[in-house]
Structure 1
Amino acid sequence: MAALLVLFVHGWSVTNTDTYGGLPARLKAEAARNGGPKLDVQHLYLGQYISFRDEVRLPDISRGFEAALDKVLAAAGAGRRFVCITHSTGGPVIRDWFDRTYVQTKRLAECPMSHLIMLAPANFGSALAQLGKSRLAAIKSWFNGVEPGQGVLDWLELGSPESCELNLRWIDDYPRLKLLESTTPLFQFVLSGDAIDRKLYDFVNPYTGEIGSDGVVRLAAANLNATHIVLEQPALIEGEALPSARKRLRSLTKVSSKRSARTAFKIVPGKAHSGEAMGIMRGVRNDEATDATVDAILRCLGTADAAGYARLCTEFDSENSAHQDVANRLEVEHVPVLPDREYIHDPHAMVIFRLLDSRGIGAPDVKVLLTAGPNHDPNQLPENFLADRQFNKRSGNLSFFLNHATLTGCAAIPGPKPGEIARKALVPRPPYGLRIVPRDGDHYVEYWTAELEADVANLLPLIAPNETTIIDIRMNRIVREGVYRMTQQLSPRSFKDAELGGAL
């Protein structure tokens, strides 16, 4: 295999190339050692793009990458392929570039990128983005001499229309492209930590210590193994009596379920999102000490065909399971003077609900409730099942962050000392389901209550640990006949309180 060019792409709001830490130099050193990867160390490039100006959007950056890449490839010689190693927002930037430049233009065979290795990528966004757009963040950015970068933060906010568009194409359309079987295959990898650097914890911003994340990006939001589910109300029958229609439309049915192509995903032990001590990229040092990030990257670089990629996917899956085994979930923080603090790292899952009506319009006037137990009661859900919930104002999408271990049940967690129990066993409360509840009262345009009464055997496998599931809920937009009437009565009369009438 010919020596590979290496390009690095950083994350959001970076203003200095020191963000790459010792990783570039370390890879140069690894390439020089016997048995190291065949890297063209004369052509190792550090990206430096602008994300801290409000007018810059993510597609603008991917367009800039294409222009800069042309110059790199021209200097390296015709026919050269490159490895791209990204951090955080750099992952979505390169995915957007690849999608626009080669997928949508149907030029896959021309793509010069052979390996895309994403470190802690915000593929489905970051819970921090919403806070990054706040007034407090704007003031902090002003003192640092930069802007918050609202254009990029719009993409990064959980449930944004832009991220959903790219990720739905990834889930629904990309499997047919068979990227690994191309004459110029593209191997994609996601490497993300789940450790929290307590020294970087921000008490004003609890997301920096969120379990199931690296302090910035959730494992589920980084992982490209994802599912898209479509649920739908039955169609409205013209002339049907309202009581009958309300009852019939109450049941949601599953229309489709699609799964993304299998993608290599590795939880890198002991690594946080950033920081010189634990950062998955910046924390790498150029020495001979074993480093989990470097080890994982070298394994990714060793992939040369579809069979090797499948083997590495399986190896990573096995290692992830061992890492998140019940016996390994307890973290104990030793605090001087104060009692030790215990944290339990349960696997979590993210679910993005997209509420759409039969006209393709968002349906913000409804609530999404999760239910449990034989009576499908929201009050029967296990304690602490919901870690977080965010609403995206631009798209109307809801993002739920769920403790998967709580929903499925979990054995007791051993304590730090023999015989101690840090947490008792968790007992699940199936069946789990959904209930869509409209705003109170009758209206000229409205939605009606709908439910999905699932059980643990068919709902939970669609909501996998460390993954994101996008659930589209298609509601009937009910327009009542009272919204428009004709009259032959010529004398003035008020129709301010006109009867609603039946459904059109």
Structure 2
Amino acid sequence: MTTATNTPIVFIHGYGSEGRNTPIHDIYGELPQQIAHSLGQKVVSINLSRWISLSDGIHLEDVSFALERALRSPSYQHLLDQGFRCIVHSTGALVIRHWLKEYSPKPSPLNKVIYLAGAFFGSGLAHMGMGQLSRWAHIIFKGTSTGLPSLRSLEFGANVTIDLHQYFLQAHHSLRDDFGVYEYCMVGSQTLPALRMIPNRYVKEDSSDCTLRTASANANFNYFEITYTPEGSRLSAQILQEHIRARCANQALPSQLYKLTVLHQADQAPQVPYALLYETAHIGDAIGIMEGRRNRTQVLPRIKEALTCNNTPNTQQHLMDKWQKITEKTLNRAAKLKQRLNEWNPQSQYEAHSQVIFRVRDQFGRDINEHDITFKSHAKKNSLALPLLIEDKIKNSLSQGNTTYYFRVQHFEKGELTDRLANIAPITLEITGVEPKSPDMHYLPVMLPLSAKKLRALIQPFKTSIVDVILLRLPSHKVFALTQASVVPDL
């Protein structure tokens, strides 16, 4: 049986790494050799995978099944028999998690996964990538198609991805406690100079690495549910109409019609160590997280720490604390950056953001495509309380009931990092759905007050929150009516 320090390592790349004739070295660069040298061992079994992500006919399920078949082959059966570790980049996070869900026994032969900018909760480039310009670029320059199924999995608010991560929150499916898998996340917050002139926000967003948001690359996420109460379900059609008219007139509704339930908080055990690395981007031979030259002192020590630490909760907690200090050190270094006249403010690239994904459905599980979400701030004039600062809002193309919001929660001011959430003002969350195809179907609106404390639980730096909203869909009295018949008895 192999020991923890010499267990074989399997590399899994991300979306778009392979073209028609891409050499394996161009995918992983010098990282495998650097890791072998860093571990200081004479023999380290390193296995470099490659998978097709740029084909419109290949889905995530196909890739994870193909991974299972490769592991079952005579050449690599020893990985399943003796155990192995994984280092994955970007979309490789979805591949390995899907494999764990569908094919891994418990405990798993996979005992460690190190995510280099793991694509847990979507990328804005997936929305841009489905455009015709991107399709032609892939055909001309890489000799491939776009990889539409992979892009769909990478969209913000993709159900297939959210459901995958929620699976491991369920009883008896914990990655650490049931599968025995210890995970580690690291990501940068820097874009590439060549991308700054491109007129698309997602290649140069603050708190992103030119491809992924720092919140999207964090496996620690929050999960909430907003659902109607028994009092809401007993409303008559007449009272419902009155509530809808009141909502349209911007009048208050009873708050007890809906409730917010916390199903999982990111700070609940087991947590995953997470590090924000300085001057690190998603790709690039200078500062790319996998192949960059200038950031090796940021990336390699973290990989070595994750590879060599013991798989115990105490060791995991120790590494979590250490990587939190790495994140703080990154932010302290960013505080000293100076803005140039011909450049944007480099500090803003490091200001923490938060991502919140709302999935709005009815009680039957159907998407409510026509809906609006409003955050009504109660910040008063001349008050120190701050309103929410929304940076972006985007719907999922397949599930129009899913909307992702991006909030700025930190701000550098005179070299000091200000926490905008510390003095956040309470809000009222308002959600209204419409059935455009029938005047006899209505949704009970949500008007839910959220205190500053609840907002800080929902919106957290460098993290994603999933909010499943169940809007009560109610019919008018015309949809089904019963009339008592007048029966004349026979004489």
- TM-score bracket, normalised by the shorter chain, equals 0.7 to 0.9
Q: Contact between 1:6 and 1:40, CA under 8 Å: does it hold in 2?
A: no
Q: Which SS does the other structure have where 1:230 is aligned? A: strand
Q: Which residue of 1 aligns with 2:28?
A: 20
1:416-450 Cα deviation digits (max 9, x unpaired): xxxxxx99999945112311134599921121322
Q: Alignment partner for residue 275 of structure 2, among 245, 262, 266?
A: 266
Q: Which residue of 1 aligns with 2:399?
A: 395
Distance change >3 Å, CA 454–CA 89, structure 1 → 2? same
Query: How far apart in 2 are the matches of 1:81 and 1:40?
Result: 16
Q: Which residue of 2 aligns with 1:162?
A: 160
Alignment of 1:193-342 (within 5 A): 193-201=188-196, 203-234=198-229, 235-237=232-234, 239=236, 241-242=238-239, 246=243, 247-248=253-254, 251-259=257-265, 261-284=270-293, 291-306=297-312, 307-325=314-332, 328-329=334-335, 331-332=337-338, 334=340, 339-342=342-345
Structure 1 length as normaliser, TM-score? 0.82
Q: Which residue of 2 aligns with 1:64?
A: 66
The alpha-carbon deviation at position 386 of structure 1 amounts to 1.2
* Percent identical: 23
Q: Which residue of 1 aligns with 2:354?
A: 349
Q: Alignment partner for residue 367 of structure 2, among 362, 375, 378?
A: 362
Q: Which residue of 1 aligns with 2:181?
A: 186
Alignment of 1:420-459 (within 5 A): 428-439=423-434, 443-459=439-455
Q: Which SS does the other structure have where 1:291 is aligned? A: helix
Unaligned runs of 5+ in 1: 416-421, 489-504
Query: How far apart in 2 are the matches of 1:216 and 1:333?
Result: 23
Q: Contact between 1:250 and 1:449, CA under 8 Å: does it hold in 2?
A: no
Q: Contact between 2:130 and 2:151, CA under 8 Å: does it hold in 1?
A: yes
Distance change >3 Å, CA 20–CA 469, structure 1 → 2? same
Amino acid at match of 2:442: E
Q: Contact between 1:329 and 1:346, CA under 8 Å: does it hold in 2?
A: no
The alpha-carbon deviation at position 157 of structure 1 amounts to 0.5
Q: Which SS does the other structure have where 2:454 is aligned? A: coil
Unaligned runs of 5+ in 2: 244-252, 485-491
Q: Contact between 1:22 and 1:283, CA under 8 Å: does it hold in 2?
A: no
1:339-378 Cα deviation digits (max 9, x unpaired): 4432312110000001011222111221011121168xxx
Q: Which SS does the other structure have where 2:361 is aligned? A: strand
The alpha-carbon deviation at position 163 of structure 1 amounts to 0.6
Q: Which SS does the other structure have where 1:91 is aligned? A: helix
Q: Contact between 1:284 and 1:291, CA under 8 Å: does it hold in 2?
A: no
Amino acid at match of 1:100: E
Q: Contact between 1:365 and 1:438, CA under 8 Å: does it hold in 2?
A: yes
Q: Which SS does the other structure have where 1:324 is aligned? A: helix
Q: Which residue of 2 aligns with 1:10?
A: 13
Distance change >3 Å, CA 120–CA 435, structure 1 → 2? same
Q: Which residue of 2 aligns with 1:481?
A: 477
Q: Which residue of 2 aligns with 1:493?
A: none
Distance change >3 Å, CA 129–CA 340, structure 1 → 2? closer
Amino acid at match of 1:304: N
Amino acid at match of 1:55: G
Q: Which SS does the other structure have where 2:81 is aligned? A: coil
Q: Contact between 2:369 and 2:399, CA under 8 Å: does it hold in 1?
A: no
Query: How far apart in 2 are the matches of 1:73 and 1:350?
Result: 42
Query: How far apart in 2 are the matches of 1:59 and 1:425?
Result: 41
Alignment of 1:372-391 (within 5 A): 372-373=377-378, 382=387, 385-391=389-395
Distance change >3 Å, CA 233–CA 66, structure 1 → 2? same
Distance change >3 Å, CA 46–CA 290, structure 1 → 2? closer
Q: Which SS does the other structure have where 1:483 is aligned? A: coil
Q: Contact between 1:133 and 1:148, CA under 8 Å: does it hold in 2?
A: yes
Amino acid at match of 1:298: K
Query: How far apart in 1 are the matches of 2:228 and 2:352?
Result: 32
Query: How far apart in 1 are the matches of 2:462 and 2:138?
Result: 32
Q: Which SS does the other structure have where 2:345 is aligned? A: strand
Query: How far apart in 2 are the matches of 1:152 and 1:368?
Result: 28
The alpha-carbon deviation at position 311 of structure 1 amounts to 0.9
Please tell me the root mean square deviation across aligned C-alpha atoms, in Å.
3.2
Amino acid at match of 1:155: S
Q: Which residue of 1 aligns with 2:248?
A: none
Q: Which residue of 1 aligns with 2:463?
A: 467
Q: Does the alignment pair 1:48 with 2:57? A: no
Distance change >3 Å, CA 190–CA 9, structure 1 → 2? same
Query: How far apart in 1 are the matches of 2:412 and 2:144?
Result: 48
Query: How far apart in 2 are the matches of 1:399 and 1:253?
Result: 21
Aligned length: 454
Q: Contact between 1:180 and 1:305, CA under 8 Å: does it hold in 2?
A: no
**Greater CA drift, 443-452 or 143-152:** 443-452
Structure 2 length as normaliser, TM-score? 0.84
Q: Contact between 1:447 and 1:477, CA under 8 Å: does it hold in 2?
A: yes
Q: Which residue of 2 aligns with 1:494?
A: none
The alpha-carbon deviation at position 14 of structure 1 amounts to 1.7
Amino acid at match of 1:230: E
The alpha-carbon deviation at position 381 of structure 1 amounts to 7.1
The alpha-carbon deviation at position 389 of structure 1 amounts to 1.1
The alpha-carbon deviation at position 258 of structure 1 amounts to 1.4
Q: Which SS does the other structure have where 1:220 is aligned? A: coil
Q: Contact between 1:413 and 1:424, CA under 8 Å: does it hold in 2?
A: no
